[in-house]
Structure 1
Amino acid sequence: QSVVVRSLTGTMERMALEYLPRTLIVAGGVACNGALREASRVVGERLGRPVYFPSPHLSTDNAAMIAAAGTIKLQAGERAGLDLNADVSLRLQNLDVEDEALRRSGVHYRL
């Protein structure tokens, strides 16, 4: 874990020094990792830049989500052809329930 954290934060710092962003953002499944969060905060302090992270419940493992969705389709007998392509705007059926819960909590996001 420490090697990966050093690699990711090293890359973050090099890119920040090259592109000079006003803020740093850590997102995706890795954003839940406590060691990465802390190391990213240290980099942000060193560079004088705020670092933002999504809340943990919005930082889930995408691979696990995709596998779960695929399992449901496979169990239903659905198969994808070799021409399958990514659909970045795809919404899964259970998101309506999640959307409502997030709306009530005041969290805003878009998939």
Structure 2
Amino acid sequence: MKLSQYNYSFSADMLAKYPAENRDEARLMVLNRKNGKIEHKVFKDMIDYFKAGDVLVLNDTKVFPARLYGNKEKTGAEIEIFLLRELNRELRLWDVLVDPAR
């Protein structure tokens, strides 16, 4: 599968800027794979798309603020640090990407 297969057009007003007050009222985009038709529903309508024997897998991972911004002490140049994974909790040691980096 290629990343380009995930490209589709949508208007900017369809992008959620804030979470729905009631989580089951969050918007849901449904793609009919047979005819390519796109429907706009709400999350609580998802049950209408399940059949007997279907399985729902939930991802309960948590998102943390992994992108940090700062300035170099000597030059004041702006830097961005992206936290990839924690290597050692006691030492507060992380695997990171830094931009710009040499």
- TM-score w.r.t. the length of structure 2 is 0.32
Write 1 or 2 for the structure with the bigger share of helix: 1
Larger Rg belongs to? 2
- TM-score w.r.t. the length of structure 1 is 0.30
